[in-house]
Amino acid sequence: MSKTPKRRENRIAALQFLYACSLNPPDDLTDQLSLFFSGKDRERDFYSFAEELIHGVLENLDDVDQVIKTYAENWDFDRIAKMDLSILRLAIFELQKRLDIPPIVSINEAIELSKEFSGPDSKRFINGILDKMKSTIQRPLRDATEL
């Protein structure tokens, strides 16, 4: 079994699915999710957090992308690397909607994902956008908030 923490493993799965969606949007989300999770090493229940994140990002995609466009100054949105875009979408969704996750955790996870799955300059780009957004968050950065 993997030594990767469960939530990290779930974020990686969510990132992989969101990246695939950015390249080829699914016609039927339910079928694509079933197919995606059937190819994983673990039972689908293990990935419940990943599914929550995937649905959350996709349901809030316009709002999340607007945040990226706001803070990605001097960047053409369509030219942002798809992996970086997927990492940002995941992190921004967590920062905006997942009050049970301390913002600093979402930011740190995004940076770690960028180190593992993206190019060497991605960490700075992603951190820059999330750092700008962090200043607008109206809740404690190191604590989860009651749901």
pLDDT for 146 equals 55
Q: Which amino acid is present at 52?
A: E
Our count of domains for the chain comes to 1
Q: Which amino acid is present at 51?
A: E
Cβ atoms within 10 A of the Cβ of 89, count? 27
- 144 pLDDT more than 70: no
| Residue 39 maps to a domain | yes
| Residue 38 maps to a domain | yes
How far is the C-alpha of 58 from the C-alpha of 39, rounded, in Å? Answer: 21
| pLDDT tens by residue, 1-16 | 456 799 999 999 999 9
pLDDT for 139 equals 72
Domain boundaries, position 126? 6-134
How far is the C-alpha of 127 from the C-alpha of 50, rounded, in Å? Answer: 22
Per-residue confidence band for 83, with pLDDT thresholds at 50, 70 and 90 = very high
| pLDDT tens by residue, 52-66 | 999 999 999 999 999
| Residue 146 maps to a domain | no
Per-residue confidence band for 147, with pLDDT thresholds at 50, 70 and 90 = very low
pTM: 0.91
- What CATH number is attached to the domain comprising 39? 1.10.940.10
| Residue 147 maps to a domain | no
Q: Alpha helices, DSSP H only, in the chain?
A: 6-23, 29-38, 48-59, 61-71, 82-97, 103-117, 122-134
| Residue 73 maps to a domain | yes
| Residue 33 maps to a domain | yes
